[in-house]
């Protein structure tokens, strides 16, 4: 069977779209397929860095320090499992014992500034100048706990329209009496669309341990 140049070109484009997680209608929405990213959590001079996967209420933290470098969480079911891939073992953790590293950072797409303001009980907030963060053009939205008060704590959201309005960075700044600021920042770098649904469950080959000792 003979293939025309046009047919081969269309076939190549189709295969490329499939390999990138897209299709005739474009990339897979993050709300449907989730995302993967390199997460950074910065508190003062301390920094945590690990691979993060998110699909709805499910999260996977990978590359953590310690004997159990993987955490699998479900924020809706309130479950948490620590995994040791080297030994193929795991154990369950109390959900409340997991550090709230992303508290105040929505890990779902579709950020809406007016809804965020309503959730905070604020009538006024600020649209800052757009900027680029980690290769993504971002809209910046700033919320002061007390609007127009220089001494007020503030939270700024970096929202990437090209990533379905996913928040890729959050800065929380609190002015201190000595003129400095306490800063807590969470960042999502190298964001990729799509996740493996199986990565959010404990493999059948893993053995349950009574504790993480």
Residue 52 counted as domain residue: yes
Report pLDDT digits (tens) over 144-187: 999 989 899 999 999 999 999 999 999 999 999 998 999 999 99
- Locate 179 and state its tokens: 């003129």
Q: Which residues constitute the domain of residue 78?
A: 30-208
3-state secondary structure 107-145: CCCCCCHHHHHHHHCCCCCEEEEEEEECCEEEEEEEEEC
Report pLDDT digits (tens) over 6-45: 443 444 434 333 334 455 556 789 999 999 999 999 998 8
Distance CA 142, CA 158 (A): 9
Residue 4 counted as domain residue: no
Prediction pTM value: 0.84
Residue 24 counted as domain residue: no
- Total domain count for the chain? 1
Cβ neighbours of residue 130 closer than 8 Å, sequence gap 6 or more:
137, 138, 139, 140
Residue 22 counted as domain residue: no
**What pLDDT, on a 0 to 100 scale, did the predictor assign at position 65?**
87
Residue 202 counted as domain residue: yes
What is the average pLDDT score of the chain? 88
Task: Round the CA-based radius of gyration of the chain to a whole number and report it.
Answer: 21
More confident residue, 153 or 5: 153
CATH number of the domain enclosing 174:
2.50.20.10
Give me the mean pLDDT over the 47-56 stretch: 96
């Amino acid at each position: 069977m003979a293939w025309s140049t046009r047919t081969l070109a269309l076939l190549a484009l189709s295969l490329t779209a499939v390999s990138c997680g897209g299709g005739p209608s474009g990339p897979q929405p993050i709300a449907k397929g989730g995302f993967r990213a390199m997460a950074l959590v910065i508190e003062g001079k301390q920094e945590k860095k690990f691979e993060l996967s998110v699909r709805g209420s499910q999260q996977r933290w990978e590359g953590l320090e310690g004997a159990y470098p993987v955490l699998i969480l479900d924020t809706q079911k309130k479950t948490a499992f620590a995994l040791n891939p080297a030994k193929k073992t795991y154990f369950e953790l109390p959900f409340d014992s997991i550090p709230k590293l992303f508290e105040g950072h929505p890990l779902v797409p579709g950020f809406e500034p007016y809804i965020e303001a309503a959730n905070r009980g604020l009538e006024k907030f600020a649209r800052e100048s757009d900027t680029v963060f980690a290769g993504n053009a971002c809209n910046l939205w700033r919320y002061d706990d007390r609007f127009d008060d220089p001494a007020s704590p503030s939270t700024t959201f970096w929202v990437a329209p090209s990533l379905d309005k996913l928040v890729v960075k959050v800065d929380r700044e609190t002015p201190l009496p000595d003129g400095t600021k306490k800063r807590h920042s969470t960042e999502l770098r190298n964001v990729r669309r799509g996740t493996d649904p199986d990565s959010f469950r404990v493999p059948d080959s893993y053995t349950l341990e009574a504790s993480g000792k």
